[in-house]
Amino acid sequence: MTPIGRRDFLAQLALATAAVSVSHAAFSTASRADESIETETAYGRIRGIRKDGVNLFKGIPYAGRTSGDRRFRRAAPLEPWTGVRDALQVGPPAIQAPRRNEPAPSEDCLFLNVWTPANDNRKRPVMFYSHGGGFVIGSGASASQDGSNLARNFDVVVVETNHRLGLLGFLYLDELGGSEYAGSGNMGMLDITTGLKWVHDNIARFGGDPDNVMIWGESGGGAKTSCLYAMPEAAPYFNKASIESGPGVRMTPKEVAAETTAMLLKELNIAPKDWRKLLDVPAADLLTIQGKLPFVPPFQEKNRNQGMMRRNYGGFGPVVDGVVLPHHPFDPTAPAISRNKPLLVGWNEDEYTFFAWERKDTEFAKLDFEGLQKKLELPYGADAGKIVAAYRKANPNASAPDLYVAVSSITMMGLGSVDIAEKKVKQGGAPVYLYNFGYKSEKKIPGTDYAMGTPHAMDISFKFNNEIPPRDGSEPKESFFGGNRPERFTASRHFAELWTTFARTGKPAAKEVPTWPAYTLKTRPTMRIDAQCEVINNRFSEELALWRSVGKL
């Protein structure tokens, strides 16, 4: 099994996220025991439910149609309704493979969900989450990101959107379609900004403060958050941000996006001058074609030449079009437009074990140090020996599989996170806080004796405070990734409290957690989040020096 590259990253994630993000009973229709709740929006009255101390509103439309003549364009205006509209069931997700316990995917997918302690005009902080799944799958109805516990336990309002994905959300047609299709390569991102505007106009009715909104997201949601942080259209509608295991340093150059559009037209046997025929191709057929093209990773490598870019980084994701996304989110600098907005950024210590689990990679767990060097020669060539030597020196007690996981995890998500933190500090504006999530799951990767540790995506259920004992006092069930140890409940509490305090004040803090200093280039403090949290200065200093020496940071 070869090391996973950034091209492969979202391809694997797209297949795997469904396994860890299925919906559950919280998204079913109301039971007889649930209390009905009604509230006004700018477009009409809606009915939700009150369940266990939280008001839930699901499937609220935040914009109009994106099908038909609105394909690849901005959504139609949302039409007001009369009477009371039920907001009891999640809306359809964007076009993708069917998702368990959700409506059938649809082109018309612009719906959002709200969790709030009360519709009482209390001006609570708003946590606006963008789901993961790269830019190709996912929804705002994933079980691990249920917002009930955050709302109930920390007095915040949680909002999550569905938005266009893949080809239907990011096909670059600006040069073929003219002004009518301006911004076409970023429709998925513009959907999210429309959701943010809906929050600004409506969230006060849900007990939220429209002037205190945090954007956050994991994996592909982190990359989306990186883009929002750099987008003029999003700027008026949020105050702080968190980028989690998805550092969107660079996005797709428009030249590469144009090449991808040409690839698509060729695959469909459509001449460029006849591109409007795309409007008549069934969405299911477009999804099939999308599967034949490469996926876009969370961020692009800076030093690849354009030929390599075209070959490896086709596919669909946000486009640096000079207008909607004026420049790469964090290259060459942090975006000036968000200079005064505090930022959290970081990654999980063992990101790679998720992909080993998903890909059924058991071979890495059998590596010796000679095999480790050979395995690293494919992505790193002559630098492989240097990498192994540096990692063995920095981690003298680590096994060869441990070092493979460490190398893979930091190159996937760590280097981009550090890059973002450094550039934000150099900007001299609002603070940035760097973290590592480190709670260790004892669950084994199937077919091995190697523990999952802190895999990619495990942070979702922890930061949403969904790792808690059952409310009815029954025996806790094993967490999908988090395992059985009761310490996970404490780690989840710390994670959720740090994030909700940041949402409230712009500075992360929690009881029984050390003071978390802002990142500086002198001390480089990193908060390690676990059942026992600690601040570690200049963490991974030897490893980061290595990656700088080989031009990866």
Q: Which of 309-313, 334-338, 399-403, 436-440 has the lowest mean pLDDT?
A: 309-313
Q: Check pLDDT > 60 for residue 207.
A: yes
Q: Which of 126-140, 171-185, 466-480, 537-551 has the lowest mean pLDDT?
A: 466-480
Token pair recorded at residue 369: 């140090």
> Check: CATH 3.40.50.1820 for 345-549?
yes
398 vs 373: CA distance, rounded Å: 15
Binning pLDDT at 50, 70 and 90, where does residue 302 land? low
Residue indicated by tokens 């460029």? 272
Query: pLDDT averaged over the chain?
Result: 92
Residues β-bridged to residue 128: 159, 215
Q: What is the pLDDT of residue 34?
A: 81
- Residues of the chain with pLDDT > 90, as a percent, come to 88
Give residues with Cβ within 8 angstroms of 399, minimum separation 6: none
171 vs 315: CA distance, rounded Å: 9
How many alpha carbons lie under 13 Å from residue 212 in its C-beta half-sphere?
A: 18
Give residues with Cβ within 8 angstroms of 181, minimum separation 6: 72, 73, 173, 174
pLDDT digits (tens, 9 = 90+) for 26-73: 343 444 458 999 999 999 999 999 999 999 999 999 999 999 999 999
Q: Check pLDDT > 70 for residue 1.
A: no
Q: What is the pLDDT of residue 12?
A: 43
Helix (H, G, I), strand (E, B) or coil at 461: helix
**Range(s) within the chain of domains with CATH label 3.40.50.1820:** 39-252+325-341, 345-549
- Active site (catalytic) residues: 219
498 vs 417: CA distance, rounded Å: 18
220 vs 230: CA distance, rounded Å: 16
pLDDT digits (tens, 9 = 90+) for 463-487: 999 999 988 889 899 999 999 999 9
Angle between the N-to-C axes of helices 400-409 and 369-380, in degrees from 0 to 180, rounded to the nearest 10: 20
As a whole number, mean pLDDT of residues 176-180 equals 96
Could you tell me if 405 and 348 are in contact, meaning their C-beta atoms sit under 8 angstroms apart? no
CATH of domain 39-252+325-341: 3.40.50.1820
Q: Check pLDDT > 50 for residue 8.
A: no
